[in-house]
Structure 1
């Protein structure tokens, strides 16, 4: 049973990687952040901060995609409440992304200025 749960979760992750443009972009940005962390030899605490905020953003995007899919299924025609739900879900990702950029800047700018 546990094996099946992992199988379904992996199936969902693959679907997001194949079908969700924003998730693909976030994975690309995450890979760039990891590369920058390796190049600049950031500290353990900086790694923890980057991995934590990156994980939060990736999870938020997965939830956003899920919510949008559910709304499209339930309300295939335009409805103002359906649009509000989708907008607020996207706003959650935007807010998290803004904080992730600030955290990234706080970590990487000192390294860049020391070059």
Structure 2
């Protein structure tokens, strides 16, 4: 039975452990992730305070969470690309650039969301 895949609650526990390992690896190896988490920690209480409704709070908090989420994906892409060799390749560079663009877009979404929620056009 050792070769069978984990099921039920064991599978959920294993998945949680893998997720924590992913957070720890990104924290350890990615300065951008640490900076984005610092920003999240600073802005999260402000988002909860400044949002006047549940929807506004959800938008402010959700937009903040998109940034480290995008950084996790970007870091995963970079790790895989780096794993397969250090030689320069057009596709490797493209993959890393696209991951970086996703992080940039997440930051733009957060900024626009905060501006629209806190300074609505009337």
TM-score range, shorter chain: 0.7 to 0.9
Which residue does 2:56 correspond to in 1? Answer: 46
Which residue does 1:61 correspond to in 2? Answer: 71
Work out the number of aligned pairs and report it: 110
Q: 1:30 to 1:101 in 2, by over 3 A?
A: same
Report the TM-score when normalising by structure 2.
0.79
Show structure 1 runs of 5+ residues with no match: 111-115
1:26 aligns with 2:36: yes
1:75: how far off?
3.0
Provide the C-alpha distance between the structure 2 equivalents of 1:24 and 1:95, rounded to a whole number of angstroms.
18
Residue in structure 2 matching 1:79, options 50, 68, 89: 89
Conservation of the 8 A alpha-carbon contact between 1:60 and 1:92: yes
Provide the C-alpha distance between the structure 2 equivalents of 1:18 and 1:42, rounded to a whole number of angstroms.
36
**Is the helix fraction higher in 1 or 2?**
1
Provide the C-alpha distance between the structure 1 equivalents of 2:51 and 2:111, rounded to a whole number of angstroms.
19
Report the TM-score when normalising by structure 1.
0.83
Larger radius of gyration: 2
Conservation of the 8 A alpha-carbon contact between 1:20 and 1:65: yes
Residue in structure 2 matching 1:4, options 2, 8, 14: 14
1:13: how far off?
0.8
C-alpha RMSD of the superposition: 1.8
